[in-house]
Structure 1
């Protein structure tokens, strides 16, 4: 929402700047306006131009910061996935069990996992039970909490 209002402000400033530039140019061309009137219009034009440039600079800075945060989040997500997969290896999960575990951590239901993997729900339940047994977790919430608690302790 803040970005939309920032674009709106930039649009208003750009429109105002163009209006004053046009008005100043026509006043100069007609030669009927006094120096004070022209000076005031010029000062307003310069002020609006300065504010517009500042807003554009701020927008560029915010875009760079946003891109950097997105990049950081992508790297962290990749690192988290790597940590999760390493733990799955320590628990000796099969590739199918590891996939089930990851989908459970992501919050998918048994039915959704079965549909995504194109297997029966009973198969998913059996593999989930194997995941819980190998991990020592009582269920999906404890499985998810295992990794979340580890993240929270590093904050």
Structure 2
């Protein structure tokens, strides 16, 4: 038994590890068999997953993912996109941070040739200095030669 697990209960060690990062948890799992058991536990990895992850997976094309361990779910979502919302959106995770990456296929085309694209939702936490990272990918089979962005508008969901 490790010295730290003699001094602190496993739940305390799990809480401490869950306040680090996924990378740190993986590195700590290499320290000893006791640390591996704690660092690989659902108690740790549940904190690295988005709070609504279980609900999204339940609504997804692969609801059986919820049968896996939280660490396995995290790894799967880092490597693969999961379809949800009747196939209109996909969810994946950024491996280093666990942040959600949601891709949506909701496009409104207007008569004058412009399109409005709903890119998803985010919560700013009520702070004015939060940054939002936006990335655009072409996920269709057609080759896109260029993209013209006239402007970007952020507005409340219920507007």
TM-score class normalised by the smaller sequence? under 0.3
Q: Which has the higher contact order (CA 8 A, sep 6+)?
A: 1
Of Structure 1 and Structure 2, which has the larger fraction of its residues in strand?
A: 2
Normalising by structure 1, we get a TM-score of 0.26
Normalising by structure 2, we get a TM-score of 0.26
The structure whose Rg is larger is: 1
